[in-house]
Chains A and B, each alone.
Chain A
Amino acid sequence: MSDAVPKIEGHAAFYAHLKSGRVDKARIIGMENDRFVEKILFGRKYYEAPIITSRICGICPTIHNTTSTRAIEVACGINPSHQTINLRKLMLCGQMIQSHALHLYLLVLPDFVGASSSFELQKSHPDLFQNAIDLKQYTDKILDTIGGRAVHPISNVPGGFKSYPTASQITKLKQEGQKIKEIAEKTLRLFASFQYPKINQCVSYNALHSKSDYAYYDGDIKNTSGTVFMAKNYTNYIYEELKPYTRAKFGTLKGEEFMVGSMARLNVNFQYLDDDTKNIIAELKLHTKYDNPFENVIAQAIENYFFVVESIRLIEHFSTKGIDKEPVKPPKRFGKGTAACEAPRGTLFHHYEIDKNGYIINCDIITPTVQNLPPLELAMKKLGPIIKNKKPDERTQIIEMLIRAYDPCITCATH
């Protein structure tokens, strides 16, 4: 068993057994402790759920907050206004760009340019490092403006927003758009230029799907094998199981491994990308279908560009239409509610049951990493031909690169 893998979110180790050129056993072992977030919500008021669940993860608090808010809204019979939905979409764009940019530049890039850490990268490639900082600061500004804080948003609550950005704040965001778009394009070109190890994992892919756009806020769940189901029926399709060697749960689609995340979203929703992004993909001759987990990195760089374009579109929308100070809508009833959103790492499910007095009596959260651990183990097993003639150090490095390409978030997986 290895030590905790560096440069991933949370603590995890791996174990791979190589026998006559084949990896016959592969395990990924989450070393985080359970925090029982689902259980501690029991007996708390409905409005506390988004506040507490956003604390599941420090990289992706916004997506937990938004998914939780949406699920509570379903349970309370609240229909959020168009403006609320668009504000949340802008927040999610910020979340996606931030998570992708940090993962690409600070966690993955050092492997490709031969730096051992992000700090070393800063010394050896200051221009690349500055790109990461610029992207992060742009998203921090979006999250700060809309959600009230970069880590753990404040304003977004069931029923709407508790405070709204001013016109001048939106104008400030708008001024940065063009520069950030150029940086995102550079990022995509950079990551498309690297050579990636080649394996095919041959699994199916799950992502949100809607008939009109590149779904990330709302929609049904579509699998590349053809299965389509609604978020509220998720328990019939996604099974969670516990393994004896890890605290992280393993999620499967009726027992079959499947993958979620950037690759899955591109596989399911490629046609809904905007023309700008499609042109660059065509120019760089990138794939339109993905099955090599190492190329998850390219998929993230494509999405990074797409979400920058999307955020510019939404900011433009608010800057021309302005923002009304809508009051927060109160709950109409209490019952059951489920919602699914696309987190940077894949589809995230939140499910709540609320009693007649507004107290939560049941909660279930399925995070993307839970769904991604089974295909990750499968992909590790397929590394045999690549690593069999390498030295132990290099083997570890390639396995770590694979784990990192998957972008697991162990703190989420063991919430």
Chain B
Amino acid sequence: MNTFPKKSMAIFSLTSCEGCQFELLSFYDHFKELLRFYDIKNFRLGQEINLPGPFDVAIIEGSPDGEKQIDFLKQIRKQTKTVIAIGSCAHLGGIQSQRNRLPKKLIGKDPVKTVLDVINVDFVLPGCPISHTELINCLVDVYWGKVFTLPDTAVCFECKENENACRIKEDLPCLGPVTRGGCDSICVNKGEACLGCRGPLDQANFKKMREVLGTMLEDEEIENWLTIYGNYEKEHNKHE
């Protein structure tokens, strides 16, 4: 028996790898619990009969590319009470946004926009891929009318908790100091540098970060590092 009224949910995918949808389905036991609170009305990857809006909650993955997807996104915004943008593509533009720095002649298309450039969203869940726990937490909070907030600490905070040796102290490049935490420093735990997929921290100091990276990388490499999943610095300045 279901004692709570269910809310309707839709999951949409724009230009992306669709990996975040899979992250949602991993740890299926958690997802199953979620179905007690939500009715999935529209989910093309998983079901055949997909209903049109209005929805209580819409999850959007990917970056809007072209008129069609931009119109679609605006339409979703009108039909939906709570819009959640998930993943680096929706948040920062994703790997495809690197084409913004290439000459337009080569690509022949407009620069990549983010979901946030086109519509106002209620919540953003960053990361490439997203943290599945964070998404479940956010959806439960939304159901009960709570405001979900992202941690406002750098990746370094969790990295220290995990007792990793600091890469920067060892003269190895790492974007941990300017990147928003919440990922449990998963990349550094596995020996890789933080590449900033979760986007800039509110109080990120990019000037200092560049100075530090300058001692380890060539100038061109620094630009590359700061734009893997989107232009972090530009994104940071936008909100100041």
Report A's interface with B, CB cutoff 8 A: 4, 6-7, 9-11, 32-37, 39-40, 42-45, 48, 51-52, 55-59, 61, 106, 110, 116-120, 122, 133, 136-137, 140, 148-152, 154-155, 157, 161-163, 359, 411
Contact = CB atoms under 8 A, between A and B. Distances in A.
Interface stretch (B153-161, B190-198, B203-211): B190-198
B192 A39 contact: no
A155 B129 contact: no
Contacts of B35: 119
B14 to A, nearest CB: 8
B46 A119 contact: yes
B20 interface: yes
A110 B46 CA distance: 10
Nearest to B44: A6
A110 B48 contact: yes
B1 interface: no
Contacts of B69: 33
A11 B99 CA distance: 22
Given A4-B44, A6-B48, A6-B50, A152 B19 contact: yes
B95 A55 contact: yes
B224 interface: yes
B166 interface: no
A39 B102 contact: yes
Given A58-B22, A152-B129, A44 B47 contact: no
Contacts of B17: 55-58, 61, 411
B96 A151 contact: no
A44 B195 CA distance: 14
B186 to A, nearest CB: 6
B84 interface: no
B18 A59 contact: yes
Contacts of A137: 28
Contact of B191 (A10, A48, A119, A162): A162
A48 B18 contact: no
A51 B94 CA distance: 12
Task: List the 5 shortest-distance A-B pairs measured between CB atoms, nearest first.
Answer: A58-B19, A117-B47, A162-B191, A148-B190, A35-B96
Contacts of B66: 33
B187 interface: yes
Contacts of A117: 43, 46-49
A183 to B, nearest CB: 15
A56 B69 CA distance: 19
A40 B43 CA distance: 30
Contact of A39 (B43, B48, B107, B221): B107
Contact of B107 (A36, A51, A52, A154): A36
Contacts of A155: 190-192
B224 A163 contact: no
A44 B109 CA distance: 21
B186 A148 contact: yes
Interface residues of B, number: 48
B65 A33 contact: yes
Interface in B10-34: 13, 15-23, 26, 28, 32
B58 to A, nearest CB: 17
Contacts of B20: 58
Contacts of A7: 44-48
B22 A151 contact: yes
A44 B228 CA distance: 10
A37 B26 CA distance: 26
Contacts of B107: 36, 39
B96 to A, nearest CB: 4
Given A58-B18, A116-B48, A39 B224 contact: no
Contacts of A37: 95-96
Contacts of A157: 192
A154 B186 contact: yes
24 contacts: A6-B48, A7-B46, A7-B47, A7-B48, A39-B106, A40-B96, A40-B102, A48-B228, A55-B94, A55-B128, A57-B19, A58-B21, A58-B129, A116-B49, A117-B49, A137-B28, A148-B189, A149-B190, A151-B26, A154-B187, A154-B191, A155-B190, A162-B192, A411-B17
A32 B89 CA distance: 14
Contacts of B50: 6
Given A36-B107, A162-B190, 15 more contacts: A6-B48, A7-B44, A9-B45, A36-B102, A40-B98, A51-B195, A58-B16, A59-B19, A117-B43, A119-B40, A122-B32, A133-B28, A150-B23, A157-B192, A411-B18
Interface in B186-240: 186-187, 189-192, 195, 220-221, 224, 228
A355 to B, nearest CB: 12
Interface in B73-116: 94-96, 98-99, 102, 106-107, 109
A136 B98 CA distance: 32
